Amino acid sequence: MNVNQKCINQLRCLSAEIITNAKSGHPGVALGATTIMYALFKDHYFYDVKDHNFMARDRLVLSAGHASALYYSAAYMFNFGLTENDLKNFRKLNSITPGHPEYGVTNFVEVSTGPLGQGIANAVGMAIGQTMVASRFNINKYPVFDNYTYCFAGDGCLMEGVAQEAISLAGTLKLNKLILLYDYNNITIDGKAEMANSENVAKKFRAMNWNVITVNNGNNYFFVTNAIARAKKSKNKPTVIIFKTQIGYGTQNAGKNTIHGKPLSVEELNEYKQKFGIENPYLLTKEIKDVAYKTLQRNNLQLEKWNNMFAVYKTSNPELYKQLNAFVENKSIDATKLLKDDVIAQNLSGRDANELILKELSSKMPRLCGGNADLVPSTKVYIKEGGDYSAQNRRGKNIHFGIREHAMGAVCNGLTIYLNNPTFCSTFLAFSNYMIPPIRMSALMNIPTLFMYSHDSYKVGEDGPTHQCVDQLGQLRLIPNLNVFRPCDTKELLGCYNIALKDKKPCVFALTKQNLTNISADYTEIQKGGYILAGDFGEVEILATGSEVELALKVKNILDGQDIKTVVCSFPCLEKFDAQAKEYQDDVLSRGKLLVSLEASNDNIWYKYIGKDGLKLSIEDFGKSANGSVLDDYFGFVPTGIVNKIKKILKN
């Protein structure tokens, strides 16, 4: 047996060992795809274990996150810093080897995966990021940014719509340094994948402008590594390598779906290890260590070459090097200074103000980029003069994702991580629910993807209930570790940007289509997330957000005129308000005897502030196709209607 086969057997048994030890995991995939992972780590994947050099290193995304046992085992074998103990703690509390790979938990993990399909879109985002920086800073003989993005995926990932969206986009964008390693075992949890899927995968990828390589025996090391080598030479197309493999290779249930979720019994494991001649999978023989050492040398050599090249680059291209430094520098930016007072004074709509801010921010934050799911004229989420990103213009800052909201979110997550900088994406707020999974992933990973949604209420009007928000704001606010902004005017929007830039975590911006009057307080107040805007103490206290704050002020005017003193509070960011000291919160919430919440949404969070005896003015049912102002009446979101409701309560 040659040494590669020995290493592969070791890796296979190691995966089986830690899965069985953890009493759970997904042995099937781990065992079937061993040769792919081995060849990738040994011969191709370029990683700088010591410094994680962000310019030089390749990116690897384990989209099939349930193959984590194999991933961790390979990382152990190839000296990525995992110990035997880490492997023994696989899937245990606070280990660095959780059930699915987690970004920020394990240092070589480039992105958290688990929900299928996401990883493919993340990888597309990372590959886009590489082209963006390469186009700016690579010059002849100096390929500073030249990394590959590898993505390991299975049948499940490929069936997901988010992956299909991302794959189509990647073909259009000609991301030739993206390599998708497709573990095609044709088995899913329910049985043969062909039950639900009969595609000609190769033809489908070709129709989407991909380079396609098929390896009929995914267990043959030589074929596998050669295929990856060929993929790396693709000139203007991303490559998929379709590796035909056998799930649960070597076990009694090889090729069967039953191996998907069930770990091997101790007896089966022992039999398995015996079959492959491995006594202790953790114990690497000198022969295997030598292989791993050679790989380390390959990596070190490549890094040394890169360092040498970069050293010359610095001195021979001082201007470009300066630009590069400026490009990657994380400057602190005061968002409240981005617009001039006379611009703020213009009573702009949320989307119009946002467009101006994006342009200014872009000039101070060169890595800022993002895109739209085909609604630029409506959402206006676009960096003016930033150019359109495309295969022909890698320097463009605006990406046209097509009508692919889900992939847009996940691609942006990959891009945010690659650029280590906020990226934005956009559609109508109503369609945020096409992309809850990537929003959740951004919050879980704590990365600053900015989700910018315009048309944030029923006021969009005639397009009807499918386009009108009711449940969306509340749904987004339920995602942990996510700032949801609903600013009432341009100043609040700037204040929200400041929160976003400081917090460096994912944020949602709910922006109006319609114009907003300037009414808000100073930036210190705004950044508390909720504050007293008008009034001091009174009978009534109205808590409002976004376009409803102006409505609340109108109601206050009427009530004040009738000697019912009213306080109005604006809540641009409930998450931020909740993070304030209890005393501050209590103070803000104790200014009126009757607490009223006013928001064109059905979010239940308001009960937290107004209590059982408060009055929740909200939209509890779906919208209607009609003019926005007609709907104001229909929903009772007009000053007189609200005044009457409040007075009725005060009477009782």
Binder among 94, 216, 332, 652 for its own copies (CB under 8 A) = 94
Identify which of residues 323 and 625 has a Cβ nearer to its own copies in the complex. 625
Do 618 and 606 form a contact (C-beta atoms < 8 A)?
yes
Do 574 and 530 form a contact (C-beta atoms < 8 A)?
yes
H helical segments located in 455-581: 472-477, 490-503, 523-526, 547-561, 574-578
Shortest gap between Cβ of 393 and its own copies (angstroms)? 11
Q: How far apart are CA 570 and CA 573, in angstroms?
A: 9
Shortest gap between Cβ of 442 and its own copies (angstroms)? 12
- Is 649 a binding residue for its own copies by CB under 8 A? The answer is no
- Is 30 a binding residue for its own copies by CB under 8 A? The answer is no
Q: Assess whether 319 carries a catalytic annotation.
A: no
Using alpha carbons, select from 80, 68, 93, 79 the residue that is nearest to residue 18: 68
In the chain, the amino acid numbered 482 is L
* Window of 135-143, 264-272, 339-347, 462-470 that interacts with its own copies by CB under 8 A: 462-470
- Is 404 a binding residue for its own copies by CB under 8 A? The answer is yes
Binder among 92, 275, 502, 648 for its own copies (CB under 8 A) = 92
- Is 112 a binding residue for its own copies by CB under 8 A? The answer is yes
- Is 604 a binding residue for its own copies by CB under 8 A? The answer is yes
Residues 345-384 binding its own copies (CB under 8 A) are: 372, 374-378
Which SS3 state, helix, strand or coil, does residue 313 take? helix
* Window of 218-226, 344-352, 552-560, 596-604 that interacts with its own copies by CB under 8 A: 596-604
Judged by phi (left if over 0) then psi (alpha if -120 to 50, else beta), residue 484 lies in beta
Identify which of residues 57 and 505 has a Cβ nearer to its own copies in the complex. 505
Shortest gap between Cβ of 331 and its own copies (angstroms)? 30
* Window of 282-290, 336-344, 412-420, 473-481 that interacts with its own copies by CB under 8 A: 473-481
DSSP state of 41: I
Do 180 and 218 form a contact (C-beta atoms < 8 A)?
no
**Per-residue H/E/C for 555-601:** HHHHHHHCCCCEEEEECCCHHHHHCCCHHHHHHHCCCEEEEEEECCC
Do 370 and 448 form a contact (C-beta atoms < 8 A)?
no
Binder among 464, 632, 641, 649 for its own copies (CB under 8 A) = 464
Which SS3 state, helix, strand or coil, does residue 256 take? coil
Backbone angles phi, psi at 541, to 5 degrees: -130, 120
State the catalytic residue, choosing from 110, 405, 575, 599: 405
Residues 261-290 binding its own copies (CB under 8 A) are: 261
Identify which of residues 197 and 363 has a Cβ nearer to its own copies in the complex. 197
Binder among 17, 355, 492, 603 for its own copies (CB under 8 A) = 603
Site string for its own copies, 37-76 (x = CB under 8 A): ----------------------------xx----------
Q: How far apart are CA 559 and CA 40, in angstroms?
A: 70
Shortest gap between Cβ of 335 and its own copies (angstroms)? 27
Q: How far apart are CA 122 and CA 25, in angstroms?
A: 23
Binder among 292, 470, 519, 544 for its own copies (CB under 8 A) = 470
E-strand ranges in 117-261 read 149-154, 178-184, 187-188, 191-192, 211-215, 239-244
Residues 127-186 binding its own copies (CB under 8 A) are: 155-157, 159-165, 168-169, 171-172
- Is 333 a binding residue for its own copies by CB under 8 A? The answer is no
DSSP state of 467: G
Identify which of residues 6 and 244 has a Cβ nearer to its own copies in the complex. 244
- Is 612 a binding residue for its own copies by CB under 8 A? The answer is yes
- Beta strands 239-244 and 211-215, pairing class: parallel
Shortest gap between Cβ of 511 and its own copies (angstroms)? 17
Identify which of residues 199 and 287 has a Cβ nearer to its own copies in the complex. 199
Structure tokens at 14: 């190691």
Identify which of residues 207 and 301 has a Cβ nearer to its own copies in the complex. 207
Q: In what order do the strands lie in the sheet with 592-598?
A: 531-534, 566-570, 538-544, 592-598, 615-617
Which residue, chain included where needed, has tokens 């949801």? 484
- Is 639 a binding residue for its own copies by CB under 8 A? The answer is no
Exposure string for 398-429, b = 16+ CB within 10 A, e = fewer: bbbbbebbbbbbbbbbbbbbbbebbbbbbbbb
Angle, CA 506 vertex, CA 392 and CA 172 arms, to 5°: 20
Could you count the other beta carbons within 10 Å of the beta carbon of residue 644?
Answer: 13
- Is 627 a binding residue for its own copies by CB under 8 A? The answer is yes
Identify which of residues 275 and 608 has a Cβ nearer to its own copies in the complex. 608
- Is 402 a binding residue for its own copies by CB under 8 A? The answer is yes
Binder among 124, 240, 443, 555 for its own copies (CB under 8 A) = 443
Shortest gap between Cβ of 465 and its own copies (angstroms)? 6
H helical segments located in 208-280: 221-231, 266-275
Residues 407-436 binding its own copies (CB under 8 A) are: 407, 430-431, 433-434, 436
Binder among 102, 355, 360, 456 for its own copies (CB under 8 A) = 102
- Is 506 a binding residue for its own copies by CB under 8 A? The answer is no
* Window of 33-41, 178-186, 416-424, 474-482 that interacts with its own copies by CB under 8 A: 474-482
Do 576 and 530 form a contact (C-beta atoms < 8 A)?
yes
State how far the alpha carbon of 217 is from the alpha carbons of 227, 245, 445, in Å.
11, 6, 36
Binder among 385, 462, 522, 587 for its own copies (CB under 8 A) = 462
Shortest gap between Cβ of 270 and its own copies (angstroms)? 23
Nearby residues of 471 by Cβ (< 8 Å), 6 or more positions away: 433, 601, 602
Residues 185-204 binding its own copies (CB under 8 A) are: 188-191, 193-204
Binder among 87, 511, 631, 643 for its own copies (CB under 8 A) = 631
Identify which of residues 25 and 218 has a Cβ nearer to its own copies in the complex. 25
* Window of 31-39, 40-48, 456-464, 502-510 that interacts with its own copies by CB under 8 A: 456-464
Shortest gap between Cβ of 630 and its own copies (angstroms)? 5
Instruction: Point out the residues that are catalytic.
Output: 405
